[in-house]
Chain A
């Protein structure tokens, strides 16, 4: 007759000796006898419920216990059950019949010393690694670029920092726990074999779930994001656009204009893209460049161009940071503050035939780069119009 088995995730860490002992004993009381431990699971097998004690023993020399030691414990009423790396599990052969394994806390402290060293070694490696990782990526967070907001380039950094942080917390927890355990034994106190563990288990369960969602969520979001990139230069749709257009600025009808380029080149110069990122979910980018035949400039064609974007950020603070990044990137000389009706902040920069305007209302940012004959006033008027004419198209 095959007996029922139950697999449970190991939420208690290897160094939580008291908690694991209490957990195994509780399971036995409820009719589930520990069969084995794997790297992540405890396997229980259905049995007669009994009040039976479990004890964990650390191997001091190697990962394995000496045969002599196991034999000695067996003679004293303990049977060897299973191991989790160098933590070995023993169980009473009969309820209340075995001789307590450790009658002297000082000697038990010596056995835990090895585990403590190993945890501290691992802990130091993780701490150094995390500090290094975080400091290398620190600049990403102090002065983010517009690309950091507009594309999901920052997510891998956030992802790795979360992983570092989780590992750091995990190892610190282990280091603190094992040190406390050692201090307790050195004070000549015995371990508490019935320590409460349930809160710990459920807290772990939840934090692991949150961690798993983040760790699996970010890469899959990035993957979906990457695989759902549309065509590079989508055609400019007819009708109203949510951005300032070159036709508006130049006050011409698109049917009257000519293009100096063809094919992919023209698409690159004339397209309207809608993009998205975690920080700026809605992004509209219009690029236009054409010749206006009845106007001439010097001895050549008049060919103005515009890159006109509208960004709807996740929140106002992201929008503010995006404005700062754009200002920093678009000109070395710096933009001048301007008053634009309908906007909370606006910045302008004009030189030769180039005009740049960056304006923000709440979490909406407009970013315009224009090359052509029209003066700053005309551009300002259109930027003011586009926000007044409402939001979405």
Chain B
């Protein structure tokens, strides 16, 4: 089994894993993260590289293919489970928040 990630995962890591639900290479991940977060999140190449290496070590992502400089990654099954776990956690956080602020018009 994969080592336990420190929880909660960072925002950047969450989006990178979201991006890697399809096979992507480094720079494409950066663009995808930007797109998925509607421009809110920009991951620097150094940060992306560091997170990729960590995820790869923990086997949450794997190499899809590589032609030397350009490596393409994809989420593994364990990675997917971890992402799902995080997704549930975030959903619950939002749900908890929603119940608490009901009637305060936060969604407007």
Interface set of A (CB-CB < 8 Å, partner B): 57, 60, 67-73, 75-76, 78, 99-104, 106-108, 110-111
| Chain B contact patch, size range | 20 to 34
Chain B residues in the interface with A (C-beta under 8 A): 10, 12, 26-27, 30, 42-51, 53-54, 68-71
Chain A residue nearest to B31 (CB atoms) is A75
* A107 in contact with B51 (CB, 8 Å): yes
List 19 interface pairs A-B (beta carbons < 8 Å), by A numbering: A60-B53, A67-B69, A68-B69, A69-B49, A71-B26, A71-B69, A73-B45, A75-B26, A75-B27, A76-B44, A99-B44, A100-B42, A103-B12, A104-B10, A104-B43, A104-B47, A108-B46, A108-B50, A110-B50
Cβ–Cβ < 8 Å partners of B30 in chain A: 76, 99
A73 to B26, CA, bound (A): 10
CB distance from A199 to the nearest CB of B (A): 29
A111 cross-chain contacts in B, Cβ below 8 A: 46, 50
B45, B50, B51, B54 — most chain A CB neighbours (10 Å): B45
Report Cα–Cα, A57/B68, bound state, in Å.
Answer: 21
How far apart are A37's CB and chain B's nearest CB, in angstroms?
20
* Inter-chain contact B50/A101, CB cutoff 8 Å: no
Q: Which of A72, A102, A110 makes the CB contact (< 8 A) with B26? A: A72
Report chain B residues within 8 Å CB of A108: 46-47, 50
Point out the residue from A68, A71, A100, A107 that lies within 8 Å of B50, measured CB to CB.
A107
Q: Given A68-B70, A72-B49, are A103 and B10 neighbors across the interface (CB < 8 Å)?
A: no
* List of B residues within 8 angstroms of A68 by Cβ: 26, 49, 69-71
User: Taking the nearest CB of chain B, how far is it from the CB of A21, in angstroms?
Assistant: 13
Contacts of A100 in B (CB 8 A): 42, 44
The residue in chain A whose Cβ has the minimal distance to the Cβ of B69 is: A71
Complex contact A101–B26 (CB within 8 A) = no
Decide yes or no: A71 and B70 within 8 Å by CB, A102-B47, A104-B10 being known contacts.
yes
Residues of B within 8 A of A103 (CB): 12, 42-44, 46-47
Q: Which one of A71, A107, A110 has the greatest number of beta carbons of chain B within 10 Å?
A: A107
Cβ contacts under 8 Å, A106 to chain B? 10
- Distance of A174 Cα from B22 Cα, bound (Å): 44
